[in-house]
Structure 1
Amino acid sequence: MIATLSHPGPASARRWAAAPCHAQPIEVTLPVADTLAQSAALALAGFDGGWIEIRDETLANLDFVIPGPDPTGAHAAWYAGPHRMGAGRIDHLGMHVGLKDGAPWIHGHGAFDAPGWRGPGFGHILPHESRLARPIRARGWGIRGARLAVAADPETHFPLFQPADLGGGGGAALITTRPNQDMGAAIAAAAAAVGITRGRILGLGSLVHPRLQGQAPIDSYATEILLTQGFLDKGLARIEAEVVTLDATLHKGWLTPGENGVCITAEVLVLAS
């Protein structure tokens, strides 16, 4: 049984979207630019998009948010912040690189260390407010044949990444999921629809009252998560994730299958094996 959240708009009949793509392992240099989003896009020149992982690197400016209520009532969940930390360090960060209104955009979740924050920080990094202190090396996957592009979502009233099929993809897939369904089951169903039943899962998302194996239920109707491990085998997904709650507490563990409802979205890259 999953926990659910009531959203302000009509629920679409199709509960996931998938676009096949080619994914190439990469090691790149992110140059210093006006924004972290621009740095990521420059590093992926020649690709349609990508998934980048950064570890143990410094930022000139670190701004992020964590889950929070929407004081206007226009959304089922919103953000707390922004937390403007000045210079900081990324412990680890995973981010999708795509487009918003034709310009570079990222969606990244991860752990941060910044002076003045109340302990270890984890959350959603802000793409235009955050900036590198120096060029850094990062690893990930460059994508061709599909990309993530932001579009208005009538159900949640959020602008969300959605996969666009650019043609000629294969061996991997960009997948997004809708709210109020088990995250793992939705990812597995979307991957199967494009012919992938075994592989790795990389990405991020949000959950309602997550259930982690061997742990007490997490009392937070909105959370942000980063997948730390993800596997697809015989059409079943196993996912380990880091989680930050409404009160900024951190959790990590394997998602209990069938008991983790999507809050707003999940955005993943599935690599066939």
Structure 2
Amino acid sequence: MVAKAVRRLPVSERRLLQPGPVAAQRFESFEGRGRQLEFMLQPGLSINEAIARPLLAANIRTATLQIEGGAFAPLHYLMPALSTDSVHAAWYSDQYSPPDETHLERGNVTFGERDGAPFIHCHAIWNEADGTRNAGHILPYETIVSQPVRAMAWGVDNIAMISEPDAETGFTLFHPVQRSLPEMDVSGSRMIFARVAPNEDILGALEAICLKHDIKKAVVRGSIGSLIGARYEDGSIVDDVATEVFVLEGLVDSSTIATRMKIAMVDTRGAITQGLIKRGENPVCITFEICLEETV
């Protein structure tokens, strides 16, 4: 499963020229009081519907999730790919549809809305029937849950994650929108939903988001996006333009002393890597959807 190599940006540049005007605001973020919900994705439903039903029943319209275990049949997915046109900085591969049942290892999901309807964005790792381990962007309507999948969700009431056309990248992307003034209920922890724009160092952006909201420390919940390759703390390197990423764990310290984030990534060649990433050396490719929960 190798994406078509149409053009490759010199890795040394570590920056992608996007087709539209560079937005002055390099991240968007809003805060609310978070709620946590644990449930199972039920077989026979699309992954989009299996996630939307319990969240909407709990009156949660914006959330980030971790999912693990269970299976899909069929599974349909895309991998990151180099651009096949003269417009986009990166693109998607053709659709892959492995035969038989595919067992989920781990993934993250952003839950919000597109065109007024519930919509998810999911990156994950799984094991196919022939033993092949793959990763990528799961298609929300075409992929059907075949065995129950465990889900942990963190959501808010007063922020919408809306999937809309983005002028800078030419993609349709999730971004947060304030639904109303932050609610007066202080029973939940402070939670931030954010979107980071292209070419921003992801760890630096997390710290800037916390500084904006006067949060000293935060745990990264869920969260998915793309990076221009990767530079890991153990010295390993992914030299690529487009990747699909989800966060395994993360802790943000706005004093910049102890910020850490561990990711899982698949590149355009289908290689899967994971580990702690370096500060200042991991710029966003197209977008990164982030959820931060304040901690002490």
Aligned match for 1:68, one of 73, 81, 84: 81
Aligned length: 272
- Aligned Cα RMSD in Å? 1.8
- Correspondence for 2:172: 159
For the pair 1:97 / 2:111, whether they are aligned, the reply is yes
CA distance in 2, matches of 1:78, 1:14: 23
Alignment map for 1:160-175 (pairs within 5 Å): 160-167=173-180, 168=182, 171-175=190-194
Normalised to the residue count of structure 1, the TM-score between the two structures is: 0.93
Larger Rg: 2
Closer/same/farther in 2, CA of residues 44 and 222 from structure 1, 3 Å limit: same
Aligned residue type for 1:125: I
Which amino acid in structure 1 is aligned with residue 134 of structure 2? G
1:219 Cα deviation (Å)?
1.2
**1:1-150 alignment runs, 5 A limit:** 3-32=14-43, 34-45=45-56, 46-86=59-99, 87-115=101-129, 119-150=132-163
Shift of 1:222: 1.1
1 CA distance for matches of 2:73 and 2:286? Answer: 30
Identity of aligned residues (%): 26
Q: 25-34 or 195-204, which moves further after superposition?
A: 25-34
Secondary structure, aligned partner of 2:73: strand
The answer to whether the Cα contact below 8 Å between 2:242 and 2:267 also exists between their aligned partners in 1 is: yes
Q: In structure 1, the residue corresponding to 2:48 is in which secondary structure?
A: helix
Task: Give me the whole-angstrom Cα distance separating, in 2, the residues matched to 1:214 and 1:257.
Answer: 12
* Alpha-carbon shift at residue 6 of structure 1 (Å): 0.9
CA deviation string 1:104-141 (max 9, x = no partner): 11111110112358x31011111111111244442221
Contact 1:2 1:180 in 2 (8 A): no
Task: Find the aligned partners of 1:190 and 1:73 in 2 and give their Cα distance.
Answer: 33
Tell me how far apart the structure 1 counterparts of residues 75 and 151 of structure 2 sit (CA, whole Å). Answer: 17
Instruction: Summarize the Cα distance change of 1:48–1:22 in structure 2 as closer, same or farther, 3 Å threshold.
Output: farther
Equivalent position of 1:213 in the other structure = 233
**Unaligned stretches of 5+ in structure 1?**
none
Other-structure match for 1:177 = 196
The yes-or-no answer on 1:270 pairing with 2:292 is yes
CA contact (8 A) 1:175 1:187 kept: no
* Preserved contact between residue 2 and residue 260 of structure 1 (Cα < 8 Å): no
Match of 1:259? 281
Gaps of 5+ in 2: 1-11, 184-188
SS at 2:231 equivalent: coil
CA distance in 2, matches of 1:27, 1:58: 18
Of stretches 26-35 and 212-221 in structure 1, the one that deviates more from structure 2 is 26-35
Question: Equivalents in 1 of 2:102, 2:47: separation in Å?
Answer: 13
Alpha-carbon distance in structure 2 between the residues aligned to 1:162 and 1:191: 17
Alpha-carbon distance in 1 for matches of 2:151, 2:134: 20
Question: Contact conserved, 1:57 with 1:90, CA < 8 A, in 2?
Answer: yes
Shift of 1:77: 0.4
Question: TM-score, with normalisation over the residues of structure 2?
Answer: 0.87
Deviation for aligned residue 1:74? 2.3
What secondary structure does 1:133 align onto?
A: strand
Q: CA deviation at 1:103?
A: 1.0
Q: Relative to total residues, which structure has the larger strand share, 1 or 2?
A: 1
CA distance in 2, matches of 1:260, 1:77: 16
Match of 2:216 in 1: 197
